[in-house]
Amino acid sequence: MFIHVVKSGESLWQIANRYQVPMESIITANGLTDPDVLVVGEALVIPAEGTSYVVNPGDTLWNIARRYGISEQGLARANPAVNPQNLLPGTTLTIPQKWRPAVGVNGYIDSFGQSTVPIVSRHAASLTYFSPFAYLIKENAQLQPIDDEPLLQAAKEKGAVPMMSVTNFTSTSRGENLASQILNDPSLTEKLLDNILVIMGQKGYRGLNVDFENVLPTDRQAYNSFLERAAARLHAQGYFLSTALAPKTGPEQSGLLYEAHDYPAHGRIADFVILMTYEWGYRKGPPQAISPINQIRKVLDYAVSVIPRDKIYFGFQIYARDWVLPHRPGQEAETFSPQEAVKRAAQYGAEIQYDDVTASPFYRYTDRNGTAHEVWFEDARSAQAKFDAVKSYGLAGISYWTIGPSFPQNWVLLEDNFIVKK
């Protein structure tokens, strides 16, 4: 695969002809619902047909190698009879297969029931783990039931390992006091683990993901002790343990979201951790990139210094946000899929921009009521930037939040970049 950014006046036929691939391949890879409508600045994934490339006027070995995501040296080695300094148009080059590291891939989903089965069936083949989010912990250590059984069956049919997720918060409650009550009462802790293990046994979960957020700073050690106890009980029955961690850039980072999340302890206790490297562009905050790569790298720099790289999963959000301008504190942005973001740009004639610092696409538009908007989302370029970070840091894998929103480009690029462990 490689990526083409649409320019003014270009048609899909012209793009397909330039890259010598069928239009249908581009339509499928990008989930295009109306091939006649392209947005200036839109990033398209172009499937590479076969293992050869015909040199066009102006091509260099460097830009061809970059187009296919391989090294210039590797391309030269695969074509020893070709003079790199004098590439003749019409020359057919052999494209060597790109090296793909093997990674684990987790996919959360936050909707349940039979209606969600098609989403799971569509993506579970690309997942190592599948995690319905989530079982909510109650004050008495019981767990609020969810309708996850149809989803678990669909995931298992595609070879995705079910991972149970438990959490202490809801959309209306930060959950810090609930967590404190559970973590500081040994009897409630044991009761909670009892209840978790019962559900895991009944429904076929093979591991547990603990997502305790906004834990009080004074409960940091209590949280670590809970995880140690959870690991001991889970491992004794052949299960694994993972945790979700707030995106910290250092050990002394202040704030309710961060302080009780002890990176070294989680890295020691858990089988792997999921870094929640998203939500800079918070739905109630000002408009900005949701997952800026420059900020994510700061988190990764700290994480790999205290947690083994083979235990770290890169958190990847799959959604877009639309903020009304001017932004007012507390005003909530609309959240939808990356594919919908491109459709909205087409609807309002907006040109998609790309911020190189954050590696994130965005655009602005004015709606029919005269209200200004700013949209930040994910596209093929931002996805590739995240995959490049996973490879450059040597991380264990990727965790999607969530697999529900439509983002076809992600899945073809995931397969192009990695071998998914099953």
pLDDT digits (tens, 9 = 90+) for 126-165: 999 999 999 999 999 999 999 999 999 999 999 999 999 9
Half-sphere exposure of 327 (CA within 13 A, CB side): 18
Of 421, 420, 422, 408, give the one whose Cα is nearest residue 1. Answer: 408
Which of 68-72, 153-157, 278-282, 347-351 is predicted least confidently? Answer: 68-72
Strands 312-317 and 272-275: parallel
pLDDT value of position 48: 74
Indicate if the pLDDT at residue 337 is higher than 90. Answer: yes
pLDDT value of position 311: 98
* Same domain (yes/no): 13, 131: no
* Same domain (yes/no): 269, 382: yes
Q: Which two tokens stand for residue 272?
A: 């792997």
CB atoms within 10 A of CB 206: 15
Indicate if the pLDDT at residue 254 is higher than 90. Answer: yes
Which of the following is catalytic: 42, 213, 259, 374?
213
* Same domain (yes/no): 83, 111: no
- Interval 28-47: pLDDT, tens: 999 999 999 999 999 999 98
CATH number at residue 152: 3.20.20.80
Identify the H or E element spanning 54. Answer: strand 52-54
Residue located via tokens 């945790």:
243
pLDDT category of residue 363 using cuts at 50, 70 and 90: very high
Which of 91-105, 233-247, 270-284, 369-383 is predicted least confidently? Answer: 91-105
3-state SS assignment for residue 300: helix
Rounded to 5, what percent of the chain is helix, strand, coil?
A: 35, 20, 40
Q: Which of 61, 94, 127 is the last residue of a domain?
A: 94
Q: Which of 49, 72, 94 is the last residue of a domain?
A: 94
pLDDT category of residue 49 using cuts at 50, 70 and 90: low
Indicate if the pLDDT at residue 297 is higher than 70. Answer: yes
CATH number at residue 76: 3.10.350.10
* Same domain (yes/no): 112, 83: no
* Same domain (yes/no): 165, 308: yes
pLDDT value of position 358: 98
Amino acid at 102: A
- Write out the residue range of the structural domain in which residue 25 sits: 2-94
pLDDT value of position 19: 86
Q: At residue 353, what are phi and psi to the nearest 5 degrees?
A: -105, 170
pLDDT category of residue 406 using cuts at 50, 70 and 90: very high
pLDDT value of position 289: 98
176 is catalytic: no
* Same domain (yes/no): 147, 82: no
Indicate if the pLDDT at residue 50 is higher than 70. Answer: no
pLDDT category of residue 330 using cuts at 50, 70 and 90: confident
Average pLDDT over residues 414-420: 95
Cβ atoms of 336 and 325 within 8 Å: the answer is no
CB atoms within 10 A of CB 370: 6
> What ranges in 348-396 are assigned the alpha helix state H?
380-393
The interaxial angle of helices 186-203 and 176-183, nearest 10 deg, is: 100
State the total domains in the chain. Answer: 2
**At a CB cut-off of 8 Å and minimum separation 6, what does 228 contact?**
269
pLDDT value of position 1: 79
Average pLDDT over residues 51-67: 86
Q: Residue 370 and residue 153: Cα distance in Å, rounded?
A: 48
pLDDT value of position 53: 84
